Amino acid sequence: MKKSPMKRRKSVIAVFVVVIVLLALLSVVPLLYRLITGPGVKTEALNDSGAAAASVPVDGAWEIVEGKNPNITSVGFTFSEILPGDERVTSGSTGYVTGAAQINDETLTSATVEVDMNQLTTDRDVRDVNMKDKLFETSKFPTSTFTLTEPVDVSQLPEDGTAGEIDVAGELTIKDHSEPVEARFQALRDGELLVVSGTVEINREDFGVHSPDLIAAKIAETGTVDIRLSFAKTDK
């Protein structure tokens, strides 16, 4: 039986409606994805522009302080988020960091750093929730730590307000999983402050950090822990 002109017209209209809805979804989904993703808030390397010459001896007890711009204390992470045909880098960070270091005879003999994981933020509230609840499970594992495991010679660090480099080895603990790590750090003596920064490459699976079940994005296994710390002496 042939369809009446009215029925054919309704069928055509229905097809057009479906096409319009699909086109709308295709345009909205990327927009929504961009709204819940982005470059994040990255902990950048130290900046020695405008730094002053060292004004205190390097030997002694040091503690992590807030510091001053542009070298405010901050620790975070950077990973790639992967979509079919698309990959973007995202970061999170926090300034809620405590710790101490001891330097004797121009050798860094001990250092500890503790990060409040509940204070990590990116640039998207939705991603913050996923990061804390699913990625790092901060309700169960509220802190991450770093402990120095080998002494570091700091005798060659410049005293004129320019940055030098040091090689650091330690133990990184995330979600109660501890792994040895090594990295080259920049170090800057700026007036009464000692500033260090660097990136530690990690595989998140080594620390029990598993990718959450996201609809669109997949998080790369390898990434970095980004570190910038300002220290001040406690025994001036």
CA distance 53 to 59: 16
CA distance 174 to 17: 51
Q: Are 131 and 92 in contact (CB under 8 A)?
A: yes
Are residues 71 and 1 part of one domain?
Answer: no
Are residues 50 and 93 part of one domain?
Answer: yes
Q: What is the pLDDT of residue 11?
A: 52
Q: What is the pLDDT of residue 180?
A: 98
CA distances from 81 to 33, 71, 86, 207, 208 (A): 11, 27, 8, 18, 18
- Mean pLDDT over 45-74 rounds to 98
Q: What is the pLDDT of residue 42?
A: 93
High-pLDDT (> 90) share of the chain, %: 68
Are residues 44 and 32 part of one domain?
Answer: no
pLDDT in tens, 5-52: 555 554 544 444 444 433 433 333 333 333 334 556 899 999 999 999
Domain of residue 223, CATH code = 2.40.128.110
Are residues 63 and 27 part of one domain?
Answer: no
Q: Which of 39-48, 202-211, 222-231 has the lowest mean pLDDT?
A: 39-48
Residue range(s) defining the domain that contains residue 160? 38-233
Are residues 53 and 21 part of one domain?
Answer: no
| Predicted confidence band of residue 214 (pLDDT cuts 50, 70, 90) | low
- Give 2 or 149, the one with higher predicted confidence: 149
CA distance 49 to 56: 19
pLDDT in tens, 123-174: 888 889 888 998 999 999 999 999 999 999 999 999 999 999 999 999 999 9
Q: What is the pLDDT of residue 123?
A: 84
High-pLDDT (> 70) share of the chain, %: 79
Q: Count of domains in the chain? A: 2
Are residues 135 and 95 part of one domain?
Answer: yes
Average pLDDT, the chain: 85
Are residues 32 and 44 part of one domain?
Answer: no
Q: Are 190 and 220 in contact (CB under 8 A)?
A: no
